[in-house]
Structure 1
Amino acid sequence: MRPSLLYCAAILALSNYVHSARILGLFPHTGKSHQMVFEPLLRKLAERGHHVTVASFFPLKNPPANYTDISFEGIATLGLESFDLNWYENPDIILRLPMIGRLVKQLNDFHPLAGMALKVCSKAVDWPPLSEALEKDYDVVFVENFNSDCMLGLLHVHGINAPVIALLSSNLMPWSADRIGVTDNPSYVPVISTDYHSRMPFWERMGNTFLKIYHKLWFRYLVQVKEQEIIEKHFGRKIPDLEDLGRNISLMMLNTYHALNGPAPLVPGLLEVGGMHLDPTRKVIPEVCYFMFVKYKCP
């Protein structure tokens, strides 16, 4: 048989031979809206033949064949994104002040996230289903980059050296940019908790700079340091600084798109994947008729 024919035969014989990856997903946040962004990606990976293990507060009702759920239910109360409208309709006197009120509100928006992260971390370090899953080998790990780095510490404790991909259901958090080496200059990159845009006047730049510094210090000393203490106390040994472990991620994926969120500096390791959670199935849009500004179904 001629070499060319031999090569063709080998290619045809191996055309159905593929390597599936062992994927671990760690999502310790209790917010349903966050998991709704990540869930389609994880489901699709399982449907394409990869072995996916996901630890979250929201296990799938009908998971694919290669999909394994590790439920965090019972560790903390689920956050179904409810809001107290009195915060907006009957604000305190301080919140009514034009500049100061806006800053105070933006600071308060982050405060509950620290308590939520520490509560989950304190129980996750000794959660049997999670501990059992972390004893296995994986080819890649997905971790949500939001209000906690506890999962990064647990990955190190259990000796998992697989590449880590960080997922965000929103724009960059104030502590995310340093991990991937992207510029987040506060003079034109708004902090996520603000409603600023890239063309900020001087006073907005001042406020944006203050918020960026404050949020970084808040995350460092009210979340990272305390989570590290929880992990080290439970396992009885020192681990690398969680801030350093956060810089070991290989890729960061943002639920943003520059046409909607505005242009921002990017690096090869930072990908915009805005809309990946949307259902691509075409749907029939019902025909609607208007008569004298009144909408009704067409006959």
Structure 2
Amino acid sequence: MFIRILFLFCLLLCASESYKILAIFPTPSHSHHTLASKLVKELAKRKHEVTFVSPFPQKETVENLKEISVEEIIPIFNQQKKHLFKLNELTIFENVIFVNNIGLLVTEELLRNEKIQKLLESNEHFDLIILPQFINEGLLAIGHHFKAPVVLLSSMPLFSWSSFLLGHPTSSSYVPNIQTHYTGHMNFWQRLCNSIYDAYSILYHQWVVLPKHRRLVKKYVPGQPDLYDFLNNASLVLVNSHVSSYDATIQVPNVVEIGGFHLEEAKKLPEDLQKYLDGSKEGVVIFSMGTLLKSSSMPKEKLQALVQAFSKLKQQVLWKWDSEEMEGKPRNVKLVKWLPQSDVLAHPNVKVFITHGGLLSTMESIYHGVPTLGIPVFTDQKANIEFAVEAGSGIAVPYPELSEEKLSQALDQIINNPSYKTNALKRSKIMKDRPIHPLDYAIYWIEYVARHEGAPHLRYPGMGLAWYQRYLIDVAFFVGLALGSVFIITKQLLKLFMGTQNKQKKKTKKN
């Protein structure tokens, strides 16, 4: 404990200087906003002057925090949200296209926004720019425009194309594509498929997506800068990941894992929820599909499967339901439109958390040691749930396979087998066993980059190389060319030598 306090004291001493920071997070997703808001509020609390661009204005005024609302992006994003449940019907290749198209739409809508254009045309100065690392490469032009170091915040482990773009050494043999259901322990066929998915994702991003972002930058950013000149110039990448939630991977010096930085000890629950949880002697099952996915939008047969499975339980079910009263609602189900999810999961009567597998929900369940029953739908949700399955703290019921029978079997197993709870508590212990809270760690590194004017010394030399140089393709080509030349020359010399020998034999025979 003394070492932790001393470490934190040293960090606070280093953080005495105040900086002017611009944080831009345009994606209208509440999970993304939760992370961004947590970070910028903490920076403002530590006396930094923060300008926060977001589609969700703060409900209360925060000292040192100036907001620029870009609510105009929300309707465009909501149009795409209607298709989220259908993503399970698409291949990974089609998912890559869908996700990148959303990123392109949000990026353009932000750059063309009148408030952002006014900001770009101003004479503002910033010591640091914080941007999301989430299919929005065109935003990097804002850091270039203000000539300020850029810190990227990734709400999840990096997409394969992001790792490639940033020059991070990841291998398809043990780093699963985030859109698959694989973990780091893949068999031969999974490694083969993973390699194909990675290659396609990278090539599509390089040849199709980046040129479009490049055109947006030239169109909307003063001076028409070339995006390709500063694509991988970020000083620091903060990744919302941790070994308790994902397999360990190799990280370069300017990548810092801060998984679970939004988490904290449980706060007091509203009186009605506290009474409900305390009075559920057989325990409570929590069900939530997060903020992007609405369970009321599920097809009728899927909802019916849920209702029938829940009606058989002796436990109470707390269901985050976003619509009006539910037809045929079982007596043991309580519907709530809003749920202080992390605080509820901390209650000792919670037996299992049924979740879509979003990373924030997954991390909350890990933190509080609650077993998970996952119904993943898209992107990283499958990987998040698969890791819980591998760790022995969860069970997966893929959305296309969701039925009353499978859900009932999974619930019976996870509630009545104590090993799931034991393994969940092990993961919780790993997540909490850190020398410093990840939020303090994130703030330290942000201030570190500002203090050292971008901290270029954290960038390993390979980040300045073209991809074909970094992966020694040019060297392999040269060696192949050299060996080929030696082979051809040797072959010609042997042919010439053999020809001379034959002539000599013929001449001798004639004589």
Partner of 1:256: 241
Equivalents in 1 of 2:49, 2:70: separation in Å? 20
Any residues of structure 2 matched to 1:237-252 within 5 Å, and which?
Answer: 238-242=224-228, 244-252=229-237
- The 3-state SS of whatever aligns with 1:176 is helix
Aligned partner (choices 173, 183, 194) of residue 208 of structure 1: 194
Closer, same or farther: CA 82–124 of 1 in aligned 2, 3 Å: closer
- The 3-state SS of whatever aligns with 1:175 is helix
Which fold has the larger relative contact order, with Cα–Cα distance below 8 Å and residues 6 or more apart in sequence? 1
Partner of 1:275: 260
Structure 2, unmatched stretches of 5+, are 1-12, 284-312, 317-347, 350-511
Q: Does 1:190 align with 2:146?
A: no
Which amino acid is 1:256 matched to?
S
Q: Does 1:145 align with 2:133?
A: yes
Any residues of structure 2 matched to 1:121-136 within 5 Å, and which?
Answer: 121-134=107-120, 135=122, 136=124
- Give deviations 1:231-285, integer Å, cap 9, x for gaps: 223458552334x423111111111111221111112211111111124455578
Which amino acid is 1:143 matched to?
L
Tell me by how many angstroms 1:111 deviates. 2.0
TM-score (norm 2): 0.47
Tell me by how many angstroms 1:45 deviates. 0.9
Name the larger-Rg structure: 2
Tell me by how many angstroms 1:49 deviates. 1.1
Equivalents in 2 of 1:278, 1:56: separation in Å? 21
Closer, same or farther: CA 215–143 of 1 in aligned 2, 3 Å: same
Q: Does 1:217 align with 2:203?
A: yes
- The 3-state SS of whatever aligns with 1:77 is helix
Tell me by how many angstroms 1:196 deviates. 0.8
Closer, same or farther: CA 209–86 of 1 in aligned 2, 3 Å: closer
- Give deviations 1:29-70, integer Å, cap 9, x for gaps: 232221222211111111221111111222211141211111
Contact 2:217/2:227 (CA < 8 Å) preserved in 1? Answer: no
Which amino acid is 1:188 matched to?
Y
Tell me by how many angstroms 1:19 deviates. 2.9
Partner of 1:7: none
- Give deviations 1:181-225, integer Å, cap 9, x for gaps: 432100111111111111211111111111111111222233221
Structure 1, unmatched stretches of 5+, are 1-14, 92-103
Partner of 1:100: none
Tell me by how many angstroms 1:76 deviates. 5.0
Aligned partner (choices 73, 78, 92) of residue 106 of structure 1: 92
Partner of 2:48: 50
- The 3-state SS of whatever aligns with 2:185 is coil
Contact 2:129/2:143 (CA < 8 Å) preserved in 1? Answer: no
Any residues of structure 2 matched to 1:147-162 within 5 Å, and which?
Answer: 147-156=135-144, 158=145, 160-162=146-148
Query: Which deviates further from its counterpart, 31-40 or 160-169?
Result: 31-40
Partner of 1:101: none
Equivalents in 1 of 2:253, 2:227: separation in Å? 25
Closer, same or farther: CA 25–250 of 1 in aligned 2, 3 Å: same
Equivalents in 1 of 2:84, 2:252: separation in Å? 38
Equivalents in 2 of 1:119, 1:72: separation in Å? 14
Tell me by how many angstroms 1:85 deviates. 4.1
Equivalents in 1 of 2:87, 2:20: separation in Å? 45
Partner of 1:116: 102
Equivalents in 2 of 1:257, 1:79: separation in Å? 29
Closer, same or farther: CA 84–250 of 1 in aligned 2, 3 Å: closer
Closer, same or farther: CA 139–41 of 1 in aligned 2, 3 Å: same
Tell me by how many angstroms 1:150 deviates. 1.4
Contact 1:24/1:52 (CA < 8 Å) preserved in 2? Answer: yes
Contact 1:190/1:208 (CA < 8 Å) preserved in 2? Answer: yes
Aligned residues between the structures: 265
Contact 2:217/2:226 (CA < 8 Å) preserved in 1? Answer: no
Equivalents in 2 of 1:295, 1:118: separation in Å? 45
Query: Which deviates further from its counterpart, 218-227 or 20-29?
Result: 218-227
Contact 1:148/1:223 (CA < 8 Å) preserved in 2? Answer: no
Equivalents in 2 of 1:246, 1:139: separation in Å? 19
Closer, same or farther: CA 201–105 of 1 in aligned 2, 3 Å: same
Q: Does 1:168 align with 2:160?
A: no
Partner of 1:289: 281
Which amino acid is 2:240 matched to?
N
Tell me by how many angstroms 1:122 deviates. 3.2
- The 3-state SS of whatever aligns with 1:252 is strand
Contact 1:52/1:68 (CA < 8 Å) preserved in 2? Answer: yes
Partner of 2:397: none
Equivalents in 1 of 2:50, 2:203: separation in Å? 35
Q: Percent identity?
A: 26
Equivalents in 2 of 1:235, 1:266: separation in Å? 32
